[in-house]
Amino acid sequence: KHLTGDNYDLHSSMVTASSPVGEWNTGRIVVLGNQVEHWLNGQLTVQYEYYTDEWNELVQTSKFDPALYARFPTGSIGIQDHGHDVRYRNIKIKPYL
């Protein structure tokens, strides 16, 4: 639940799709209503549905505050790393048409 392609602290990736160190990864997160998909390098890594019983249980047992986590229609997007050299490029946020 803490690797590239995961839904951090909630869902582990179904596949290992990371590129080798030194190569770019391409990621995409698609949200349609309550349905969410995480894609990494063209492979579906995680899919889930917001606010189901399973979702609520995962949030309850995570490090996140259940009263606040994913409860607002707008907000910040966090991108993180844990002390390694990392670069980002071509970050785009656009509505799904």
Q: Give me the residues of the chain with pLDDT under 70, please.
A: none
pLDDT of residue 63: 93
pTM: 0.84
Which of 81, 68, 86 is closest to 2 using CA atoms? 81
- Residue 54 DSSP SS3: helix
- Cα distances from 12 to residues 76, 83, 87, in angstroms, run 22, 21, 23
pLDDT of residue 37: 96
- Residue 49 DSSP SS3: strand
